[in-house]
Structure 1
């Protein structure tokens, strides 16, 4: 499946219309329900194939952010053989009390994996948390870059955003 066919399929499967409040607090009259494309194995396999080509050289660990980044990071890990950690928004308060579940991240080159980036707010928080645990983080990969503000916000935090598609790419199929 080429990129145009993939954008069209993601759009068909995930595009909703109505009034939606985004995590950032912004109101939108359209929404791309990431869980709709993430729950289709055939799409997830193709997305992982395309994203695997974008993983920066030297990446030692993929960090899937709760919740939407987890299935993508898992598919990427299976595709590439790069280990994955699952990053909570907040460390659990029982058991191991971990923020990042999985292998050790200290002194590792970690690439954050996310599904949709709007402002990058949660990515910034998670990147800082992971850095506090000793991870080296410079790169973020996402499926859909919803708003260019996210790219700018992440750049200000020393993070480079690599996106498979922008919102404009998806809107070409309106």
Structure 2
């Protein structure tokens, strides 16, 4: 299955089960006439599968090699798991396909046990991709970028499923990411347009 198929099917599902019109308060404190809850899609059985493969193919398209993907809990959690699983599936088909492991960034360090802030894959010098579901202000993405850097890992790219294109969001993430590219599978306008198109059918 090619990239456009994974991506287009994911867009259709996002527009159908994750997009809502109405009056909503955003993480930035502002209001919007729409809301996109990506977790409804990334935690959906088929939506999760599509998410994993679509993210991997986006990375392949841009020539980005990574040892792992990770992000701030909890918006990133299903994305991370699905990408790691999709890489294992790809490796079953092609033994030369590299496994991409996963890690999750806690909002604060554990107060017990190992006291770690990062759970899962953790290796100094590893190339990692920071993932998030929706980028509005970019605060959660920036939080995860900093945690990965603090742990000695190298941020190779930043990926979000949907970029809301709010003022300041993308520039803030790009500033935190440094030379690492910021990639979005879709913009909010993409999802809205697909929602309107499918609703009219």
TM-score (norm 2): 0.79
Structure 2 residue 154 is the aligned partner of structure 1 residue 136: yes
Structure 2 residue 12 is the aligned partner of structure 1 residue 8: yes
Q: Which residue in the other structure is 1:123 paired with? A: 141
Instruction: Work out the CA distance in 2 between the residues paired with 1:10 and 1:125.
Output: 25
Q: Which runs of 5+ in 1 are unaligned?
A: none
| Cα distance per residue 1:10-68 (max 9 Å; x no partner) | 11101123322211222112101122112211111112111111225331111132101
Query: Which residue of the other structure, out of 52, 60, 71, is the alignment partner of 1:48?
Result: 52
TM-score (norm 1): 0.91
Query: Which residue of the other structure, out of 76, 82, 104, is the alignment partner of 1:75?
Result: 82
Structure 2 residue 170 is the aligned partner of structure 1 residue 163: no
Query: Which residue of the other structure, out of 64, 67, 76, is the alignment partner of 1:60?
Result: 67
Q: Number of aligned residue pairs: give it.
A: 174
| Cα distance per residue 1:44-96 (max 9 Å; x no partner) | 11121111112253311111321011111111001112111111111121111
Q: Which runs of 5+ in 2 are unaligned?
A: 88-98, 197-201
Q: Is the 8 A contact 2:131 2:141 kept in 1?
A: no
RMSD: 1.7
More helix by share: 2
| Cα distance per residue 1:74-132 (max 9 Å; x no partner) | 11001112111111111121111111101223111111111111121121122112211
Query: Which residue of the other structure, out of 31, 42, 57, is the alignment partner of 2:35?
Result: 31
Instruction: Work out the CA distance in 2 between the residues paired with 1:3 and 1:134.
Output: 32
Q: Is the 8 A contact 2:125 2:153 kept in 1?
A: yes
Instruction: Work out the CA distance in 2 between the residues paired with 1:2 and 1:48.
Output: 9
Where does structure 1 differ by over 6 angstroms across 4 or more consecutive aligned residues? none
Q: Is the 8 A contact 2:110 2:116 kept in 1?
A: yes
Q: Is the 8 A contact 1:119 1:147 kept in 2?
A: no
